[in-house]
């Protein structure tokens, strides 16, 4: 479900607030036993011709898959534990439907109405099994445990995908670019946010990294693994990313002919399509292909523009915010690549590099011209931003060492990586500490505020209400089964979700035009608890009462939440020790209970 300002505006720079082992083992070989034949010498020379990596660089050390995975997993698990939910689509289009499948109730958006069928149930089910394992093995078999179990599972999946992506770069472009890429991936603040988000854009990010890895290591044969990853990303994840696979499709045809790619492609598409149709038929009770429906809605109509538009530079600002100097270095890779091709230096390697990075520029070119923009739309290209920046760092190192003392090249690269890491850590610290109040509050409610015993009246529920803070609700996984979320009237005038009845019946009062549905609201008198954020009186909406001063309600627990309009723009975007605390203001994010009379 998409709404104007549904994404936390705090994480967007442009708005006033921050809205397997497929790797080969490295074994020493007996030189006599493995003496090169004429054939292997020819193959080796061909590899060097393709990759343009000299023998001296090939002998450089680079972390193996297991070391890279271990490093990345530490950072990604930290993300699973402290990451915010920056987009309400994650809750209402994925966490809530999954909660309905597992617990029999949850909030339903219009996209899940069989009348529209824009969302895939196969995608939801693919997350249920690893989440259950994570919950049982790590957090305990509870609803909160399931929530964080899924996040931890996503953390490990992302770490494995990134480690393979890095090893593919080492294989195709050498250990220097690979090591730079690993450092940039590890500390990228955009990846910190994207890696553990329960969103199709994160799902396809994993698959595109696996796709890229399979392509990079397929020197002499067509990669079925790449095909499977690409088709799954398009049909089960997010269909638009198909454009990012086009360059590799043509590359496969040039290298391996037309027959094999098309033959294998038809088989893989048929198998994935059959699974997608079968699972969705079970839930929708009709043959639907959500990937096709969502393209028809967003591309062939102006439906997506109902949910807010942004200027062309929105993505540039968000890339700089979440990738800082890596975004600039990625941009520099374009003239560097063109220049190297023009000079004829390492032409084969440079053309391969341009092909590898082309999905980044294709994606950004398409996204920039779309009126509807969301930060999550950048998730699929974050790894490629890191790779492009790594190519630039290698080129800069070569230029500096060519005209200045050799050591200065390493110093320049080290300074760039230290600055990048520092800014990334400051960004993550800002988002997690200054905007983490909703998850912290709902966690406290689950363990300390909400009654653990069910109401004595049959079929009665404890009602938690939200008004203007509806888009920061983290899902019913934070509530016991006898607690329900309901909406009270606020200044928002779009369509809010209703509760699932079944997955196959068309719910009443649903529309695809984001028109407000009055049936979604309940009177304040029916609420047992209210979650609200205190705002200055001057910015308060007439339909949004201040519960901190309300005669019938008392604050039970509160967490500090950044007051963006009263805070310095730079210091709210990046947490600067000793400076940020004195340049930002906080308000209260609280749960209120009824006063006893």
414-430 pLDDT, tens digit each: 999 999 999 999 999 99
Q: pLDDT per residue over 247-296, tens digit each?
A: 998 888 888 888 888 899 999 999 999 999 999 999 999 999 999 999 99
Residue 244 predicted with pLDDT over 70: yes
Residue 48 predicted with pLDDT over 60: no
Banded model confidence at residue 404, pLDDT cuts 50, 70, 90: confident
pLDDT at residue 230, rounded to an integer: 96
Please state the rounded mean pLDDT for residues 157-184: 96
DSSP run (H or E) holding 225: helix 224-232
How many helices (H) and strands (E) would you count in the chain? Answer: 22, 7
Alpha-carbon distance of 197 to 150, in angstroms, equals 10
User: In degrees, to the nearest 5, what angle opens at C-alpha 400 toward C-alphas 399 and 402?
Assistant: 65
Residue 39 predicted with pLDDT over 70: no
Alpha-carbon distance of 453 to 445, in angstroms, equals 14
Banded model confidence at residue 304, pLDDT cuts 50, 70, 90: low
- Out of 123-127, 250-254, 587-591, least confident range: 250-254
Distance of CA 468 to the CA centre of its chain: 25
Banded model confidence at residue 402, pLDDT cuts 50, 70, 90: confident
Q: Which residues contact 493 (CB under 8 A, 6 or more apart)?
A: 516
Please state the rounded mean pLDDT for residues 29-34: 41
Q: Which residues contact 512 (CB under 8 A, 6 or more apart)?
A: 110, 116, 297, 303
> In 118-128, which positions are buried (b, 16+ CB within 10 angstroms) versus exposed (e)?
bbbbbbbebbe
Alpha-carbon distance of 529 to 451, in angstroms, equals 11
Helix (H, G, I), strand (E, B) or coil at 7: strand
Highest mean pLDDT among 51-55, 112-116, 352-356: 112-116
Runs of H (alpha helix) within 435-557: 437-444
Helix (H, G, I), strand (E, B) or coil at 157: helix
Distance (Å) of CA 192 to CA 55, 196, 358, 383, 558: 35, 8, 24, 11, 26
Beta bridge partners of 87: 7
Higher confidence at residue 402 or residue 200? 200
Strands 529-533 and 586-594: antiparallel
Banded model confidence at residue 133, pLDDT cuts 50, 70, 90: confident
- Out of 124-133, 177-186, 459-468, 547-556, least confident range: 124-133
Helix (H, G, I), strand (E, B) or coil at 590: strand
Please state the rounded mean pLDDT for residues 69-80: 98
Q: pLDDT per residue over 499-523, tens digit each?
A: 999 999 999 999 999 999 999 999 9
Higher confidence at residue 341 or residue 527? 527
Residue 136 predicted with pLDDT over 90: no
pLDDT at residue 159, rounded to an integer: 98
Residues 39 and 407 sit within 8 Å (Cβ to Cβ):
no
Higher confidence at residue 56 or residue 254? 254
Alpha-carbon distance of 247 to 251, in angstroms, equals 6
Alpha-carbon distance of 178 to 27, in angstroms, equals 19
pTM, whole model, 2 decimals?
Answer: 0.90
Residue 3 predicted with pLDDT over 70: no
Please state the rounded mean pLDDT for residues 314-343: 89
Rounded percentage of the chain residues whose pLDDT exceeds 70 = 88
Provide the mean pLDDT of the chain. Answer: 88
Please state the rounded mean pLDDT for residues 300-329: 86
Alpha-carbon distance of 275 to 255, in angstroms, equals 30
């Amino acid at each position: 479900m998409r709404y104007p300002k549904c994404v936390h505006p705090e994480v967007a720079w442009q708005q006033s607030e921050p809205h397997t082992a497929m790797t080969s083992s490295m074994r020493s070989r007996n030189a006599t036993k493995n003496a090169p034949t004429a054939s292997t010498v020819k193959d080796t020379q061909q590899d060097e011709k393709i990759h343009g990596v000299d023998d001296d660089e090939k002998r450089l050390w680079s972390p193996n898959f297991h070391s890279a995975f271990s490093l990345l997993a530490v950072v990604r698990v930290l993300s699973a534990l402290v990451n915010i939910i920056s987009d309400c689509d994650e809750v209402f289009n994925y966490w809530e439907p999954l909660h309905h499948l597992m617990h029999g109730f949850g909030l339903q958006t219009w996209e899940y109405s069989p009348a529209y069928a824009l969302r895939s149930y196969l995608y939801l089910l693919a997350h249920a099994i690893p989440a259950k394992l994570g919950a049982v093995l790590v957090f305990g078999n509870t609803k909160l445990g399931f929530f964080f179990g899924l996040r931890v599972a996503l953390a490990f999946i992302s770490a494995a995908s990134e480690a393979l992506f890095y090893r593919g770069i080492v294989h195709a472009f050498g250990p220097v670019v690979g090591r730079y890429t690993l450092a940039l991936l590890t500390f990228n603040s955009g990846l910190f946010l994207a890696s553990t988000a329960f969103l199709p854009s994160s799902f396809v990010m994993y698959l595109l990294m696996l796709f890229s890895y399979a392509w990079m290591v397929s020197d002499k044969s067509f990669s079925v693994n790449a095909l499977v990853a690409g088709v799954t990303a398009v049909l089960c994840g997010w269909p638009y990313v198909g454009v990012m696979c086009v360059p590799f499709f043509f590359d496969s045809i040039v290298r391996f002919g037309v027959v094999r790619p098309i033959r294998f492609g038809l088989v893989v598409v048929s198998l994935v399509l059959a699974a997608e149709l079968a699972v969705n038929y079970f839930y929708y009770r009709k043959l639907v292909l959500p990937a096709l429906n969502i393209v028809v809605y967003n591309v062939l109509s102006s439906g997506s523009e109902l949910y807010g538009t942004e200027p062309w530079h929105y993505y540039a600002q968000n890339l700089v915010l979440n990738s800082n100097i890596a975004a600039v270095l990625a941009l520099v890779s374009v003239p560097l690549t063109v220049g190297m091709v023009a000079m004829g230096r390492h032409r084969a390697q440079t053309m391969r590099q341009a092909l590898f990075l082309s999905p980044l520029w294709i994606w950004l070119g398409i996204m920039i011209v779309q009126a509807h923009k969301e930060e999550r739309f950048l998730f699929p290209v974050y790894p490629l931003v890191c790779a492009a920046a790594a190519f630039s760092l290698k080129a800069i190192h070569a230029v500096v060492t060519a005209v200045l003392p050799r050591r200065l090249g390493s110093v320049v690269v080290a300074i760039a990586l230290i600055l990048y890491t520092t800014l990334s850590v400051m960004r993550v610290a800002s988002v997690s500490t200054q905007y983490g109040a909703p998850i912290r509050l709902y966690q406290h409610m689950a363990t300390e505020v909400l009654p653990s015993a069910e109401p004595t009246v049959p079929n009665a529920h404890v009602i938690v209400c939200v008004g203007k803070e509806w888009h920061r609700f983290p899902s019913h996984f934070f509530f016991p089964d006898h607690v329900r979320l309901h909406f009270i009237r606020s200044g928002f005038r779009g369509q809010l979700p209703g509760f699932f009845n079944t997955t196959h019946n068309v719910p009443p009062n649903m529309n695809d035009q984001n028109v407000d549905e009055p049936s979604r609201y309940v009177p304040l008198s029916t609420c047992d608890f209210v979650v609200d954020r205190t705002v200055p009186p001057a910015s308060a909406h007439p339909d949004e009462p201040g519960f901190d001063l309300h005669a019938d309600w008392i604050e039970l627990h509160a967490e500090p939440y950044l007051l963006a309009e009263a805070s310095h723009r730079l210091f709210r975007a990046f947490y600067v020790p000793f400076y940020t605390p004195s340049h930002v203001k906080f308000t209260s994010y609280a749960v209120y209970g009824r006063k006893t009379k």
